[in-house]
Every structure is written in structure tokens, then in C-alpha cells.
Amino acid sequence: MAYAGGRGECIPLNHLFQMDTPIGIARSTRARSTNEAHMYSVNRLTHQSYGSVIHIERAENGSQATPFRAVQLALKERRLWMESGTKKVRILVDSQVLNPKQAEHWANEEYKSLPKCEGCAKILDGSIHTHRLSTRVFCSEDCADRDYVEEVEKLKDEEEIDYL
Ligand SMILES: [Zn+2]
């Protein structure tokens, strides 16, 4: 019979799940890949209907990690382009022309829609991590491990209540 001790007490946990590793070592974390890329590229281009545009696009190898940075760069590029004599430069996102205020609004909405780590709230990209006591997803093994330890603590607390 396996016992998992923490803080000096001995609590049988093996009927909740097979306890084959000491508490605190989250051997159960696993990684998987997200299909979506959450990177953005920002490019100047001449659009057939809109003329001079700064195009913000979701791209796997984009240079900008967040929609906020993408919009900041787009606004900077727009300024530079206009300073060099081009009268009207628009921002193009998802086939829509946006003014600077709308572009900032787009960044907010886009950010809200991105999946984030349940531990540290970082935007999830590339690989995500989870553990066997949760269906939530995390940015790293560290964040998944921390959550695993918390979940184990919660299970221990529930066990203690059962024994009262
Ligand atoms: Zn995280």
C-alpha cells in the first residue's frame, strides 16, 4: 500500500489515483502542440483597392508576439511611411481597413480571444502542458507542475475532511 506523506502526516491517497511518485514531483505533466500560431507579421504593401496599407497578419513565423505589439509596430510604420510623403496609409487586418483607434480595439479583442496559461496568463503558443488531475492547459511544465501540486493539496484537504 502506497502512502504519500506531506507535512508529517500520512494520508492514503492511492484510492484517488495511483500514487507512484512523491507529492511535489509532477511526473504526470505532458506536452502537446497547439495548431494555431499566435504570432503576427506586419508588412507594408500596396493593396489594389486600398492603396498603401500596413498589413497585420497572423503568421507562424511572425515577428510580433502579441496583437498589441503588432498594432504598435503598424502605427509606427504608418507614421514613417507618411513622413516619407505618402498621403494616406491605412491599416489592414482580416481584410478590413482600420483607423488607429479601431486597430487598438482590434488588438484588445484579439488578445481576449487568445488561449492563455491557467497559471501565469501568458499567451499559449507552440506547445501546451497539462497534467493528469486537470483538463486545464499551461504554458510550461513549471506552470503545470505548480498546478499539479495545488491539486494534490486540494485532494489531501478533502481527504482530511472525510476523516473528521
Ligand atoms: Zn504559465
- For 9, phi and psi rounded to 5 degrees? -90, 160
Helices (H), 84-140: 100-113
Strands 30-33 and 40-47: unpaired
What is the band of 28 on the pLDDT scale with cuts at 50, 70, 90? low
Q: So what's the pLDDT on residue 163?
A: 66
Q: So what's the pLDDT on residue 116?
A: 93
State the average pLDDT for the chain.
Answer: 81
72 CA → ligand 1 middle, Å? 25
Tens digits of residue pLDDT in 94-124:
999 999 999 999 999 999 999 899 999 998 8
157 CA → ligand 1 middle, Å? 25
Across-strand partners of 133? none
Q: What is the DSSP string of 1-42?
A: ---EEETTEEE--TTTS---S-TT--TT-EEEE-SS---EEE
- Under the phi-then-psi rule, with left for phi > 0, alpha for psi from -120 to 50, and beta for the rest, what region is 51? left
115 CA → ligand 1 middle, Å? 11
Q: So what's the pLDDT on residue 30?
A: 65
What is the band of 29 on the pLDDT scale with cuts at 50, 70, 90? low
pLDDT surpasses 50 at 5: no
17 CA → ligand 1 middle, Å? 25
State how far the Cα of 120 lies from the Cα of 150, in Å rounded to an integer. Answer: 14
Predicted TM-score (pTM) of this structure: 0.66
What is the band of 7 on the pLDDT scale with cuts at 50, 70, 90? very low
Average pLDDT rounded to a whole number, residues 54-58? 96
Q: Which residues surround ligand 1, an ion (CB under 5 A)?
A: 117, 119-120, 122, 139, 143
Residue-range domain boundaries for the chain? 4-35+120-163, 40-113
State how far the Cα of 8 lies from the Cα of 59, in Å rounded to an integer. Answer: 51
